Amino acid sequence: MHGRVKVRTSEEEKARKEKERQEKLKVFKNAMQKIQLKRQQCEFDKDLLELTGKVLMSNPDIYTLWNIRREILQQIKNINTEDDLTKVFDDELSMTEYCLKINPKSYCAWHQREWMNEIFIPGTIVEFVVSQCKSSLQDEFDYTTEKLLDNFSNYSAWHYRSKMLLQLYPDIEGGRPIQDIYHKHELKMVQNAAFTDPDDTSAWFYQRWLLGAFKSTVNLVLCTVTQFKTTIAFSKHVSYDYVTSKSRVIVNENVISGDWISLSGNNHDTLWILGHNVSINDDMNIKVEHNGNEKNEIISCFKYKHMTYIGKSDICFQNNYSHPIIEELNEQLKACRQLLVLEPDNKWTLLTTTIFLHCIDSKLYYQETIQNLQRLKKLDQQRAGYYNDLLTKWSIEEQLPLDYASKDLVFKPTFSEKITILPHLQYYSFCEVVDLSNQNLCSNILPSLIFLQHCKILILRNNKLHTLKGFPNIFLEKLDIQGNKDISEEELKHFKDSHDFVTIF
Amino acid sequence: MDDDLPTDFQVIVVGTGMVESIVAAACSRIHKNVLHLDSSDHYGGLWASYNFDGLQKFIKEVNSDPEKQVQVYNLTEQWYIEKESPPEDEKGEGEAKAEDGKTDPPKKIWSQANFASEYRKFNIDMTPKLLFSRGPLVELLISSNIARYAEFRCVTRVLTWMNDRLMPVPCSRADVFATEAVSILEKRMLMKMLTSIVGYNEEEMNNEFKDWNDKTFKEYLEHKGLSANLIHYVLFAIAGGTEGMPCLEGVKECKKFLMSLGRYGNTPFLWPMYGSGELPQCFCRLCAVFGGVYCLNRPIDSVETKTVEEGKTVVVIGSKSKTLNCDHLVIGINECPKDLVSPEPVATSDISKAVFITNGTIMQSEKEPLTLLRFPPLIEGGGAVTVLEVGPATGSCPKGLFVVYFITNKVADAESDLKPYAEKIFDMSGGDQTEDSEKPKCLWSLFYNVKDTSAAAESASACVHVCSGPDAGLDFDRAVEQAEQIFKKICPGEEFLPRAPDPEEIVFEDDVTHGPEFEREQEDEADGDAPKE
């Protein structure tokens, strides 16, 4: 019929589309082949940079190609002058920017930006580049702001922001990770996100990271000296070099020489044993020196019993924020409390309130935080395990200073909630009796028992152990593992046979 | 020419308004034989866009011959600037100022003569409307593939008038996150409110709102504990309502707004490039592509229905001494002889409209803004006022100017209904255009009333279908809905505007009657693409 438009049938249309697809595939395969070939022949030149760029611009998520680009960039960096490098740097950034337009959350593209700023630039640092580098960091920081204002559900952008923040605004004078005014600004920003969409976890992650960015120091917390063993414990993991160069055990004014040994066998540990051949008697003056970054700590050890000297420091688990940050946290706490009046059963508001309370003054708000966590366990059963672990950790942090004030050599947690994990166990390495009966401990805690270096009696009765695999090599006089029903008879028998302690069932 | 026009059609459409044009396209698309007429020399009727010259002609026509444009009245045009540009030496002074270290170039001093010489750069709408990004018109444009004939710009912001000043309305998740105008507690309350409204399905709606049938939306928002600021945002700016808006209507309007977020831009709205008047033309174009015949400047003189044989009725139209026959007549209400409409359309409130041309935006922003501003009623008994501000980037006016539309339901007359609102945001005192003031200068204004002919009108005959005129609403939804209804009556069981093929999907074949030489060339060019049989 005249005047009618004739349209291809769907079959024909399909064939045409398929043909187009095949064409595209051919081009893609061809490019990939060329790239692989050039790489095999180590031709890391601008040509290859261009080839990979073309493919990435249509598909930014091919990790391999980004890897190859980094190889090329490394090569270029070694050959070229500053001027050329600035151009290479700018080109690469605009290339990732283009890719992030296609996929704003492309992990590879974000990673490439980070790599450019952290690896590529620092290697080439010469005085004049430093200022340039700073301004490009600022650009990067602003870029994350822009992306987050578009859509703050973007883990990559928050993460990248945290990296920029540490480099751009460290509080070098105050020894804090971030300058107060920027720290405050970020806390406000993330609170805005959290209140806008509490179900978006990306903001929570960033908030936790911000709350963790306080001034923290390494402290020597404990020294135990017996006729068999000398151990010292730190608040954080320290390296072999650190412990060797910064700590000294002094007996009767003489520094004991010997080698420090980590029990885990790792280079970093919280508990260290000093291997020495000084024999210990009942009439000694023992102290430990720790040359920390800020001040010189000295712990004097006292005789607790026959040939057992123990020195404990004043311990404190309070996060050390600056005054302005505490003020900001109090502001935000106030907003959370108001919201909680309106939405008493909102789990995220309750959890944030609780975390703020803990961060502001864990001792003052101890009871309230514990009650909140107990409520959260009921409101949000899926995360009961997480709340249980927090309960345990905060209870033990509350208990530890009390235990340190006592003369007992016993660790026996008796909280209203059963404990589920064993945090800060190095602090209890001096105890001779560790009674963990009637708790909710699982077998995954077994390896950490290695911290109980001076323990003689260990009671694990009525817990939730299902196996004894991972039980560390410690010398006990008595081990009680009754009432852990899930351990098989066979395993128990085998365990008994291979250990020589007095074991009760 | 007249003699060339065939006389027998399946469908004749009279008037090129939105509803008529959609029906014409839909009929033509399924290969109905369509003739489309309009009595004036341009497309769109009351839905048209004019350049400045065309608008002047329209104004003259209304003022000189009220019979011809019966639906427009109370029309007052006013200039706030000089007839001619200031003499050269003053301009020189302005430039010297710029060199003195001022960063901004001096503001252009506009005269009436400038408007006249740049008249082509104006596209001023008689019926400015927005499209909801997920509304029925956008979906129709996509599904029918007519979107390829049109271009759109995203509305960049939604403003409201609150505490005696303009305020941006945080309407998307990103806005709520970024705004500093509301406390974080309010952010939570607002987001909770908005997400719960989006989340309601039909059943939950009935549950949540079963006790709210006879209450207002404002009462509901108060019940939910929203602060006064938030209620203002939600009620006036998002739902576009008034104090008395019924609860369910408010919820529905909110939901419509929210559902359209996040598709194209930061607001739920699109604005057609070169004005709303482009849209009827897009549908006409599709109609023509599928063989529809167009004839502008072609008034009709008479309409009659004749029963030719049992059960078959033909509509006979007299136009310029010619007789045209069709099975169905689709006719705009304004072109329709009164005796064909029965019963008389319900008298509703008429519409008050105003257009302003200003020398700057009502609220500065980084990039050129495209603004929807919703005023709550400021006058006792008045309605809410909708304001649209469009700039040069939309093809509506020359650089340096903005076109601003005001729409509300008529209370007294357009000028007294709308001027108090305009004075809030414009400087209407005339005077020096270069002086720095917070408000943009109004350079030109036009107030007019339009009869509301948007109520669906029933025709006396089953073969005559009467199309409504534009309503005061923000969107085209009612026009689309009505067009589909009319189409279903004319072509029961047929698909409404199935997807039109892209040019590359069209096959050029040999078996058609050969046309003039150029078609053959086209055929050769297409050889590479078209499979040979």
Cross-chain Cβ contact B185/A5 below 8 Å: no
Among A26-40, B80-94, B309-323, whose mean pLDDT is lowest?
A: B80-94
Q: Hey, is the C-beta of B512 within 8 angstroms of any chain A C-beta?
A: yes
Mean pLDDT of chain B: 87
Q: What percentage of chain B reaches a pLDDT higher than 70?
A: 89
> Nearest C-alpha of chain B: how many angstroms from A46?
37
- DSSP per residue, A404-468: HHS---EE----SS-----TTGGGGTT-SEEE-TTS---GGGGGGGGG-TT-SEEE--SS-----
Judged against a pLDDT cut of 80, whether residue A120 lies above it is answered with no
Residue B257's Cβ-side half-sphere holds a number of Cα atoms within 13 Å equal to 27
Cross-chain Cβ contact A193/B183 below 8 Å: no
Listed in sequence order, the residues at least 6 apart from B127 whose beta carbon sits closer than 8 Å to its beta carbon are B18, B46, B47, B48, B276, B277, B470
Residue B146's Cβ-side half-sphere holds a number of Cα atoms within 13 Å equal to 27
Across the interface, of A6, A7, A342, the residue whose CB is closest to B225 is A342
For residue A108, count CB atoms less than 10 angstroms from its CB and return exposed for 0-12, middle for 13-18, buried for 19 or more: buried
pLDDT at B520: 41
For residue A215, what pLDDT band results from cuts at 50, 70 and 90? confident
Tell me the per-residue pLDDT of B437-455, one tens digit each, with 9 for 90 and over: 789 999 999 999 998 888 7
pLDDT at B2: 54
Q: Hey, is the C-beta of B224 within 8 angstroms of any chain A C-beta?
A: no
Rounded distance, CA A429 to CA A230, Å? Answer: 11
pLDDT at B524: 41
- In the stretch 110-149 of chain B, residues with CB closer than 8 A to chain A read none
> Nearest C-alpha of chain B: how many angstroms from A322?
24
Judged against a pLDDT cut of 70, whether residue B510 lies above it is answered with no
Rounded distance, CA A247 to CA A272, Å? Answer: 11
pLDDT at A124: 47
Cross-chain Cβ contact A13/B173 below 8 Å: no
Best probe of the A interface among B184, B191, B261, by most A CBs < 10 A, is B184
Residues in chain A within 8 Å Cβ distance of B265: none
pLDDT at A93: 84
pLDDT at A501: 66
Closest CA to A397 of A316, A313, A314: A316
Residue A398's Cβ-side half-sphere holds a number of Cα atoms within 13 Å equal to 20
Sheet with A296-300, edge to edge strand ranges = A254-255, A247-251, A286-291, A296-300
Residue type, A436: L
Of residues A251 and A103, the one with the higher pLDDT is: A251
User: Which three-class secondary structure state does DSSP give residue B132?
Assistant: strand
Rounded distance, CA B220 to CA B197, Å? Answer: 12
Mean pLDDT of chain A: 89
CA-to-CA separations, A413 to A310, A368, A402, B201, B459, in angstroms, rounded: 21, 20, 12, 52, 88
For residue B96, what pLDDT band results from cuts at 50, 70 and 90? very low
pLDDT at B382: 81
pLDDT at B310: 77
Q: Are A357 and A365 in contact (CB under 8 A)?
A: yes
Q: Are B238 and B254 in contact (CB under 8 A)?
A: yes
> Nearest C-alpha of chain A: how many angstroms from B264?
13
Which tokens is A83 given?
């001027």
For residue B527, what pLDDT band results from cuts at 50, 70 and 90? very low
For residue B405, count CB atoms less than 10 angstroms from its CB and return exposed for 0-12, middle for 13-18, buried for 19 or more: buried
Q: What percentage of chain A reaches a pLDDT higher than 70?
A: 94
Residues in chain B within 8 Å Cβ distance of A150: 174
Beta-strand pair B34-37/B293-295: parallel
Beta bridge partners of B341: B459
Q: ipTM of this model?
A: 0.72
CA-angle at A406, arms to A403 and A412, nearest 5°: 45
Cross-chain Cβ contact B191/A196 below 8 Å: yes
Across the interface, of A5, A152, A197, the residue whose CB is closest to B506 is A5
User: Which three-class secondary structure state does DSSP give residue B195?
Assistant: helix
Average pLDDT on B87-99 reads 48
Rounded distance, CA B482 to CA B19, Å? Answer: 7
Cross-chain Cβ contact A192/B177 below 8 Å: yes
Residue B411 backbone dihedrals phi, psi, to 5 degrees:
-110, -60
Which tokens is A348 given?
């995220």
Listed in sequence order, the residues at least 6 apart from A266 whose beta carbon sits closer than 8 Å to its beta carbon are none
Rounded distance, CA B167 to CA B159, Å? Answer: 5
pLDDT at B21: 97
> Nearest C-alpha of chain B: how many angstroms from A154?
12
Listed in sequence order, the residues at least 6 apart from B76 whose beta carbon sits closer than 8 Å to its beta carbon are B414, B415, B446, B447, B448
pLDDT at A175: 84
Which residue does chain B place closest to A343, by CA atoms? B189
For residue A199, count CB atoms less than 10 angstroms from its CB and return exposed for 0-12, middle for 13-18, buried for 19 or more: exposed
Cross-chain Cβ contact A196/B176 below 8 Å: yes
Q: Hey, is the C-beta of B215 within 8 angstroms of any chain A C-beta?
A: no
pLDDT at A411: 96
Cross-chain Cβ contact A151/B178 below 8 Å: no
Judged against a pLDDT cut of 90, whether residue B199 lies above it is answered with no
Average pLDDT on B63-70 reads 80
Tell me the per-residue pLDDT of A184-208, one tens digit each, with 9 for 90 and over: 999 999 999 988 988 888 888 899 9
pLDDT at A430: 96
Residue B325 backbone dihedrals phi, psi, to 5 degrees:
-115, 145
Residue type, A364: L
DSSP class of residue A171 equals B
A70: enclosing H helix or E strand: helix A63-79
Contacts across the A-B interface (CB distance below 8 Å): 61
Cross-chain Cβ contact A8/B183 below 8 Å: no
Judged against a pLDDT cut of 50, whether residue B368 lies above it is answered with yes
Average pLDDT on B227-243 reads 94
Q: Hey, is the C-beta of B31 within 8 angstroms of any chain A C-beta?
A: yes
Q: Which residue has the tokens 């095999």?
A: A40
Judged against a pLDDT cut of 90, whether residue A266 lies above it is answered with no
Residue A102's Cβ-side half-sphere holds a number of Cα atoms within 13 Å equal to 17
Residues in chain A within 8 Å Cβ distance of B504: 16
Residues in chain B within 8 Å Cβ distance of A2: 512-513
Rounded distance, CA A426 to CA A449, Å? Answer: 9
Across the interface, of B176, B185, B291, the residue whose CB is closest to A339 is B185
> Nearest C-alpha of chain B: how many angstroms from A483?
49
Q: Hey, is the C-beta of B503 within 8 angstroms of any chain A C-beta?
A: no
Q: Hey, is the C-beta of B178 within 8 angstroms of any chain A C-beta?
A: yes
- In the stretch 184-213 of chain B, residues with CB closer than 8 A to chain A read 184-185, 187-189, 191
Q: Are B390 and B124 in contact (CB under 8 A)?
A: no
Across the interface, of A7, A150, A198, the residue whose CB is closest to B505 is A7
Cross-chain Cβ contact A12/B531 below 8 Å: yes
For residue A505, what pLDDT band results from cuts at 50, 70 and 90? low
Q: Hey, is the C-beta of B223 within 8 angstroms of any chain A C-beta?
A: no
Residues in chain A within 8 Å Cβ distance of B178: 149, 192
Residues in chain B within 8 Å Cβ distance of A13: 505
Q: Are A449 and A474 in contact (CB under 8 A)?
A: yes
Across the interface, of A13, A195, A198, the residue whose CB is closest to B505 is A13
Residues in chain A within 8 Å Cβ distance of B31: 4
pLDDT at B522: 41
> Nearest C-alpha of chain A: how many angstroms from B174?
6
Judged against a pLDDT cut of 60, whether residue B412 lies above it is answered with yes
Best probe of the A interface among B505, B506, B510, B522, by most A CBs < 10 A, is B505
pLDDT at B93: 46
Category of A113 on φ-ψ map: left (φ > 0), alpha (ψ -120 to 50) or beta: alpha
Rounded distance, CA A175 to CA A173, Å? Answer: 6
pLDDT at B92: 45
Across the interface, of A13, A152, A335, the residue whose CB is closest to B184 is A335
Rg (CA), chain A: 30
Residues of A with CB under 8 A from a CB of B: 2-8, 12-13, 16, 149-152, 191-193, 195-198, 335, 338-339, 342
pLDDT at B335: 85
Category of A154 on φ-ψ map: left (φ > 0), alpha (ψ -120 to 50) or beta: beta
For residue A352, what pLDDT band results from cuts at 50, 70 and 90? very high
Listed in sequence order, the residues at least 6 apart from A74 whose beta carbon sits closer than 8 Å to its beta carbon are A44
> Nearest C-alpha of chain A: how many angstroms from B173?
7
pLDDT at B113: 95
pLDDT at A6: 65
Best probe of the B interface among A8, A202, A350, by most B CBs < 10 A, is A8
Residues in chain A within 8 Å Cβ distance of B291: 3-4
> Nearest C-alpha of chain A: how many angstroms from B187?
6
B312: enclosing H helix or E strand: strand B312-319
Closest CA to B4 of B440, B383, B251, B322: B322
CA-to-CA separations, B370 to A149, A475, B138, B158, B259, in angstroms, rounded: 19, 78, 19, 9, 20
Which tokens is B213 given?
């049938």
Q: What percentage of chain A reaches a pLDDT higher than 90?
A: 57
pLDDT at A292: 81
pLDDT at B345: 54
